[in-house]
Amino acid sequence: MKLNLKIWRQNGPSAPGNFVDYHVDHVSPDMSFLEMLDVLNVSLVNKKETPIEFDHDCREGICGSCSLMINGNAHGPETGTATCQLHMRRFKEGDTIVIEPWRAKAFPVIKDLSTDRTAFDRIMAAGGFVSVNTGNAPEANSILVGHDTAESAMDSAACIGCGACVASCKNSSAMLFVSAKVSHLAQLPQGHPERAKRVRGMVTQMDQEGFGNCSNTGACEAACPKEITLENIAQLNREIVRAVFKD
């Protein structure tokens, strides 16, 4: 396939940016989207031009690094799919593809398509963990967790922290990400001792990072590659109320 690409180029967070047109040939339908960008970068290097900066790591839909807006959609046109899992068979000969980074104040552009998402790390450091020293791994049946509870907690834990929810929200809200992390541990007995402290710390840090309020449009749920549901945001709101009343 031959494709026309409009890619955002920007040298740094304070530098002006603009879209640059590129053309790629010999794109196999079996290539992943990131492999297609690799092909483009090889051609740019061969021309002694600066390659395009973009984030990636596992390329298996696990790490959440592949943060791209593709034709206005976070991670592209497929639902429940990260950018690295998107294949070029989804496009056709001669298509024009617009590629840009996450657009959010809390995710400043590092260069080109790469953004700084350490705001998520700071939110996690504010309470998204269990700090109790439990020693060696306990016997599996020593703390019984109901099947439905375990499944619900695992659904929340599936969040990979890619930031698609933030990029797709008109208010750049991080509520879906934070709610998934809070809901995961709030449902498990190991997370109960720090339950109130956790939600207060993470929500406070989320606000300090400059993320907006939930827009209630559901764009975050639609864009999430792991299909994290809005039920988590409802759970987060209940956890906040519970923490306030506990105080």
179 three-class SS: helix
Q: Do 127 and 95 lie in a common domain?
A: no
Single out the residue in 89, 111, 133 at which a domain terminates: 111
Q: Do 223 and 193 lie in a common domain?
A: yes
Q: Do 80 and 125 lie in a common domain?
A: no
DSSP 75: T
Q: Do 160 and 220 lie in a common domain?
A: yes
Q: Do 80 and 143 lie in a common domain?
A: no
- Of 24-38, 82-96, 129-143, 152-166, which gets the smallest average pLDDT? 129-143
Q: Give the pLDDT score at 246.
A: 79
Output the average pLDDT for the chain.
95
Q: Do 56 and 128 lie in a common domain?
A: no
* Domain count of the fold of the chain: 2
| Strands 17-24, 69-70: pairing kind | unpaired
Cα 214 to the chain's mean position, in Å? 16
What are the pLDDT digits (tens) for 128-163?
999 877 677 777 677 888 999 999 999 999 999 999
Q: List, in order, residues 6 or more apart from 110 with CB less than 8 Å away.
A: 12, 13, 53, 116
Q: Do 171 and 208 lie in a common domain?
A: yes
Domain carrying residue 180 = 118-244
Neighbours of 7 (CB within 10 A): 21
Q: Do 99 and 140 lie in a common domain?
A: no
What are the pLDDT digits (tens) for 43-81?
999 999 999 999 999 999 999 999 999 999 999 999 999
- Of 24-28, 131-135, 236-240, which gets the smallest average pLDDT? 131-135
Residue 107, pLDDT > 70, answer yes
Single out the residue in 77, 111, 145 at which a domain terminates: 111
Amino acid at residue number 222: A
Q: What's the pTM?
A: 0.93
- 79: CATH: 3.10.20.30
Single out the residue in 111, 130, 161 at which a domain terminates: 111
Q: Give the pLDDT score at 135.
A: 72
Q: Do 192 and 239 lie in a common domain?
A: yes
Question: Nearest 5 degrees, angle CA 35-CA 97-CA 81?
Answer: 60
236 three-class SS: helix
Q: Do 230 and 123 lie in a common domain?
A: yes
